[in-house]
Structure 1
Amino acid sequence: MNVGYGEAMVLECPDPACRNGLFVMLIDGGGNEPSEFADRSSGRVPMAEYLSGRGLDHIDVMVSTHIHEDHICGFLPLLEHWTPRELWQTLPVEFYRRMRPLDVPEGVTASQSKFLRALNDYGRLCALVESRGSTIRTITAPARMELCRDLTVQVLAPSGPQAEELKDLLAGVYDAEPAAFWSRLNQLDARMNNFSLMLRLDYRGTRLLLPGDTNCMGYGGLEKADLQAHLFKVGHHGQRDGVSQEQLRAVAPDAVVCCASSDRRYNSADPGVLTMAASGGAKLYFSDCPPVPGAAEPLPPHQALVFTVGPNGALEGRYLPL
């Protein structure tokens, strides 16, 4: 979905065993800041509004890849209309109960404000999901699961020890004395991307690699064969550190998706990264409408980028117009 600077995905897979014959999985929910959607000329739309327009009637699995505002805060408005059957995340299920609401004082940086709100919304999200009788599931590598007929997911990261490290770092923020609080908060914020859930979906042999905000430093220990995918959602919004050339060669994608805002905020949709992906033969796609190096025409305004896996693994991408 086009949520501006953020990520939000919906996966729909036919299965007669599922409600209304359809398995529905959400992977991240974008942000929830009104300013992100003040200008909708490129097609930006909050996730809840987009899904309401599609007539969605259920959510089987909701996945929070990591706790950053532009990935998790858009989930809360969804709970006004839907409750997922399961919420996937990486922390121990009981951990959210020790997370007290954190003040967001005036004068903090924009990054600090966003991260504090993300932590608060994560705690609220878990509490609401559990209060409605749904399951909160801790997901770490190397778990492999069958989601529905013909669709499996392989969790590539984080490992159990990495998830335990994240829990300890987060506990250190909540247990910190006032003098150490901001330092610990900033350190965790800077490291959070590489605690992202990295998922590889396989539908009848067509692979989709979704690394969350994992950047090029977060691929350590992964086997090259595990990275190969037909579609690759580049990490960290296509910033310069989003992926290395060696990693791109290992993935060898036919299509690369970059979730960058039309204004290329924070130097997302880095021209060097995009050129590197295109030079390897991949076709480039975008959730929003940033400028594309060498493109003859600008991207069309769109609410979403839709991929369909067809017969014999055919992968078709198209922009959903306004």
Structure 2
Amino acid sequence: MEHMKLTFVNVGYGEAILLECPDPRFADGVFVAVIDGGSSEAEEFSDHFTGRLPLAEYLHNYGPGHIDLMVSTHIHEDHICGLLSAARDFVPGALWQTLPEEIASRMHPLDASLAQNDSQDKFLRALNDYQSLRSLLEQHGNPVLTLRAGNTFELCQGLTCQVLAPSPSKAVELESRCRDLFGETESDEFLKKLSALDSRMNNYSLILLLDYQGTRILLPGDTNRLGYEDVDPTYLKSDLFKVGHHGQKDGASEELMAAIRPRAVVCCASSDRRYNSAHPDMLRMIAERGAALYFSDCPQLPGLDLPPHHALTFTVGAAGVLSAQYIV
């Protein structure tokens, strides 16, 4: 493998990204990272018409057989719960995430039966799966790292990663809200704090800027247009941009797109365009920028006729080289 591959697995409404980069220092000569894992809900994959499949199944069928790094951008069911299933089958060498050890030590299993609506149910399960994922890494003696804006890493030969968010102030806010939530013993107050944290979690996402030999890739988790307030816009210029929040109307702004100036944009909207994902205003904004638009699933949109596919894969070369292919 001479180029890096970046694959957006079709997990329906959710995100799961597989990165494979040539480097002889790693097993089979390839550094492998997984960034988010989609959902673990069986109903998300009950209809295979568009090619959806769980991340773990994709890795068994198409993956390289090992994971050197797993990344949880934030704790929401459609991003983290599929990571746990994948990690049980392919124990990752390390985990990147947003909560420090001090907060993790205060966490405890939560009773999902407390949920009064679907959103609370999903978030409770996400928080429990986060704890299980972290415990799995710790049981194997593999590191769990807390990332913050300003961290930089050389992941493998030719590939660097810069963390643009969460900022120190957002990190403190996230820690405080988690501490309050897990310290609450009164049910009604607990559910209020649960919903408040759930509503803010998107903008506590990791924002990662990858650079492979001069080709820049911006992966913001579910950060919406308001979540970039602490990010220096001069860092945002990228060749490939995964638009935040599944391409909902708040996923980006004109100012943000002007700073990023992407040549290609990926939207992780579900085929049924749940929660107004792949919003027409967002797609229009992308088109007006002249960026090529790709989808991890097959959203029902006028004039769009994508073949059912298991994944969207980019071959990434030096100095801005990108080519895309749907894996059917």
Report how far residue 312 of structure 1 moved: 4.6
- State the aligned residue count: 319
Aligned equivalent of 1:265, options 250, 274, 278: 274
Report how far residue 107 of structure 1 moved: 6.2
The match for 1:83 is: 91
Q: Deviations over 1:80-101 (max 9, x none)?
A: 3211111000111343232111
Tell me how far apart the structure 2 counterparts of residues 262 and 166 of structure 1 sit (CA, whole Å): 32
173-182 or 300-309: which moved more?
173-182
The match for 1:123 is: 131
What residue identity is the alignment partner of 2:198?
D
Tell me how far apart the structure 2 counterparts of residues 291 and 211 of structure 1 sit (CA, whole Å): 24
The match for 2:5 is: none
171-180 or 188-197: which moved more?
171-180
Tell me how far apart the structure 2 counterparts of residues 107 and 181 of structure 1 sit (CA, whole Å): 10
2:309–2:327 Cα contact (<8 Å) kept: yes
2:239–2:261 Cα contact (<8 Å) kept: yes
Superposition pairs of residues 41-190 of structure 1, within 5 angstroms: 41-105=49-113, 108-178=116-186, 179-190=188-199
Aligned equivalent of 1:13, options 16, 21, 26: 21
2:243–2:266 Cα contact (<8 Å) kept: yes
307-316 or 130-139: which moved more?
307-316
Contiguous gaps of at least 5 residues in structure 1: none
Q: Deviations over 1:142-175 (max 9, x none)?
A: 1111100000001000023321210110111111
TM-score relative to the length of structure 1: 0.96
Q: Secondary structure at the match of 1:124?
A: helix
Greater relative contact order (Cα < 8 A, sep 6+): 2
Report how far residue 46 of structure 1 moved: 0.1
Tell me how far apart the structure 2 counterparts of residues 77 and 213 of structure 1 sit (CA, whole Å): 21
The match for 2:212 is: 203
TM-score relative to the length of structure 2: 0.95
The match for 2:6 is: none
| RMSD (Å), alpha carbons | 1.2
Structure 1 position 282 matched with structure 2 position 281: no
The match for 2:323 is: 316
Segments ≥4 residues shifted beyond 4 Å: none
Q: Deviations over 1:60-97 (max 9, x none)?
A: 11000000000000011113321111100011134323
The match for 1:241 is: 250
1:199–1:211 Cα contact (<8 Å) kept: yes
Structure 1 position 301 matched with structure 2 position 326: no
Report how far residue 222 of structure 1 moved: 1.7
What residue identity is the alignment partner of 1:286?
F
The match for 2:200 is: 191
Q: Secondary structure at the match of 1:222?
A: coil
